[in-house]
Amino acid sequence: MQAIIVHAPHDLRIEELPTPTAQAGQLTVRIKAGGICGSDLHYYHHGGFGTVRIKEPMVLGHEVSGVVSACGAGVDDIAAGTRIAVSPSHPCGLCRYCQEGKQNHCLDMRFYGSAMRMPHVQGAFREEIVIERHQAHPVADHVSDGEAAMAEPLSVALHAVRRAGPLVGKRVLVTGCGPIGALVIIAARHAGASEIVATDIAPKALQTAAAVGADRVIDMAGTPDGLQDYAQGKGSFDVLFEVSGTERALRSALEAMRPGAVVVQVGLGGEISFPTNLLVAKELEWRGAFRFHEEFAMAVELMNRRLVDVKPLISASFPFTRAVEAFDVAGDRSSQMKVQLSF
């Protein structure tokens, strides 16, 4: 069985790994589709991000779907042949945060394709993988393999939206419309937002934001003062989802926020400063949103019940044997949203 393994920046190889066998309580899964995420691209281009660096060869990938090929002993509630989305979240279940229901803060988290710990947690861009039963979420027949692989980024978006609190009737601004930003638009609309305005600088991102339901999209490259009208009368928006991770986007957006507004920081941009004068004078609330846990089941349920449509985000798909080409294409924000691999 083959896997996509990163050895160093721009050294991505397709290599043979032993075929795994499911133990008690586990499932063997034949992977069908996998989405390339920003973190996969960071490992590919830079060998990591922040202080996280690849120290040994690592299989990439954490946004995958597949079909159950074998069940380990004691697993009798899911059958071989079941199509599933695979949750890459594998918390310990024992630490104090798991016990509090905050599994995304688990002290012993094993998240696929992550070099945060040593040995690294190997990822899911491989033909076969062994998972725990609880990581398998069956998908409906009408949900394609590619859509099922979107359950992971949709979970991130749902978690961000839940961090914002109730959105019914709220005016929402989303800065940064890559895959996560576009999914935040979908999730915010589903949660009852009355108006959603989205900003970006890439035409493809703006086009997708409109396609998934943003009421208005603003090209901040062409119209850098495009949010100025919303800054009148101390601001217009109740909630900001800052997904770009850039200080410039945050600053221009804050002027457009109403007093008491909630700012959910989803994008990671290293060190960015927050204008404390606005935080104080407008009594803003700045909240982080990190990964997800229970939202994975919600994401699959929303797709299974046709309550959300993630298809507009999938911009290209390559056979996994062309992984290098796929990774190069995925880095082009001007033409791509979510690039997927098929296995």
Min separation Cβ 111 and Zn ion, Å? 12
# binding residues, Zn ion (CB under 5 A):
5
What is the smallest separation between the CB atom of 105 and Zn ion, expressed in angstroms? Answer: 8
Within 88-117, the residues that bind Zn ion by CB under 5 A are: 91-92, 95, 98, 106
Question: CB of 211: closest distance to Zn ion in angstroms?
Answer: 38
5 membership: H or E segment, kind and range: strand 2-8
* CB nearer to Zn ion: pick between 23 and 99: 99
**Rounded CA gap, 157 and 154, in Å?**
5
Residue 79 or 116: the one with the smaller Cβ distance to Zn ion is: 116
Match 């990964």 to its residue by tokens.
Answer: 291
Least distance in Å: CB of 39 to Zn ion? 21
Q: Is 106:67 a contact under the CB 8 Å cutoff?
A: no
Q: What is the DSSP annotation of 131-183?
A: EEGGGEEE--TTS-HHHHTTHHHHHHHHHHHHHH---TT-EEEEE--SHHHHH
Count CB atoms within 10 A of the CB of residue 322: 14
* Window 50 to 89, contacts with Zn ion (CB under 5 A): none
Of 242 and 295, the one with the shorter C-beta distance to Zn ion is 295
CB of 302 to Zn ion, least distance (A): 26
Contacts of 323 (CB under 8 A, 6+ apart): 4, 12, 14, 125, 341
- Least CB distance to Zn ion at residue 142 (A): 35
150, 35 contact by CB (below 8 A): yes
- Judged by CB, which is closer to Zn ion: 107, or 307? 107
Pick between residue 32 and residue 90 the one whose CB is nearest to Zn ion: 90
Nearer to Zn ion, 90 or 162 (CB): 90
- Cβ closer to Zn ion: 1 or 95? 95
Helix (H, G, I), strand (E, B) or coil at 119: coil
Binding mask 146-185 for Zn ion (x = CB under 5 A): ----------------------------------------
72 burial via Cβ count (<10 Å: 0-12, 13-18, 19+): middle
Helices within the chain (DSSP H only):
38-46, 96-99, 145-148, 151-164, 179-190, 203-211, 247-254, 276-281, 295-304, 323-330
Residue 13 Cβ vs Zn ion, minimum distance, rounded to whole Å: 33
Q: Which is nearer to Zn ion, 106 or 250 (CB)?
A: 106
Name which of 42 and 110 has its Cβ closer to Zn ion: 110
Residue 303 structure tokens: 């797709």
- Nearest by Cα to 298 from 109, 146, 161: 161
Q: Provide, rounded to whole angstroms, the least separation between the CB of residue 114 and Zn ion.
A: 15
Shortest Å, Cβ 251 to Zn ion:
36
Question: Quick one: tokens of 133?
Answer: 């039963």
Whether 176 and 184 have beta carbons less than 8 Å apart is answered as no
CA distances from 8 to 45, 47, 56, 57, 125 (A): 9, 6, 9, 8, 17
The answer to the question of residue 140 lying near Zn ion (CB under 5 A) is no
Contact residues toward Zn ion (CB under 5 A) are: 91-92, 95, 98, 106
